[in-house]
Amino acid sequence: MKNINNYLAKVLDVPLEKVSLCSVHYEVKKIPKNQFILQYGEVCRHIYFVEKGLLKMYSIDKNGKEHIIQFAPESWLISDRSSLYFNEKSVYYIETVEDSEVILLQSDFISKLIGEFPNSVEKSDILVQKHIKSLQDRINSLLAETAEERYMKFIKMYPDLLLRVPQWMIASYLGITPESLSRVRKELARKNFVPDK
C-alpha cells in the first residue's frame, strides 16, 4: 500500500511510524477494467483512493452522451460528495478505466484520522480548500477558455494520461468533440508543441 501510505504521511501529516495503523479504517479492493463502483441512482458510500490503476467519474445526458467530470489516476481521490455527505442519489457513474486497486474510505475517515492525529486537521482543511479551488477552476475553464487552453491544462493536470486513455475520453473531459480535439492537436503539432512526459 505504498501510495496510500505516502498520501497519509505527506498529505495528511500522519506520523510515518503510525501510517500502517490507519489500515483498520479502510478496505482494499481489486476491480477489473470497465467495472462500475458507483452508478446513477445509487447512494455513494465511500471516498475512493486509487492505489493502482485509473478511474473516471461521469454523467450521461438525455441524448446518451457521456460527460467526464474527473479522472483519478494513482494517488488521487474520487467520490460523489453530494451523494456521500447528503445521502442523495448520485447523478454520476464512477468506473474503472484500467484494472485497478482501490481503497474504500468511509465518509468519516478524515474525522477519525483527526481524532487520532490532531496535527492532520490543518492539512485536511487545506485539502478541502484545494478541492473547492479545483472545481472553481474547472467551471471557469469550461465557460471561458478555448479548447486549446483547456487541453493544455489537461496535460498539466494529468501528464501521464495521454497514452492511457482514448482521445474521445479526453474530448469528453474537455467538453469538445473528438474532431475538435483532433484539430487542437494538429494546431499544436504545427506549432511544434511537445507535451512533457
Q: What amino acid is encoded at 194 in this protein?
A: V
pLDDT in tens, 141-189: 999 999 999 999 999 999 999 999 999 999 999 999 999 999 999 999 8
Is 46 inside a domain boundary?
yes
Distance CA 45, CA 85 (A): 9
Is 165 inside a domain boundary?
no
Is 107 inside a domain boundary?
yes
Indicate the pTM of the whole model. Answer: 0.90
Give the count of alpha carbons within 13 A of 127, CB side only.
15
Domain count within the chain: 1
Is 142 inside a domain boundary?
no
Q: What is the CATH number of the domain that holds 75?
A: 2.60.120.10
Mean pLDDT of 20-41: 93
Q: pLDDT value at position 168?
A: 97
Query: Would you state the cell numbers that stand for residue 180, as one nine-digit string?
Result: 475538435
Structural domain for 113, as ranges: 2-117
pLDDT in tens, 31-78: 999 999 999 999 999 999 999 999 999 999 999 999 999 999 999 999
Is 66 inside a domain boundary?
yes
Is 191 inside a domain boundary?
no
Contact between 37 and 58 (Cβ < 8 Å): no
Is 129 inside a domain boundary?
no
Is 184 inside a domain boundary?
no
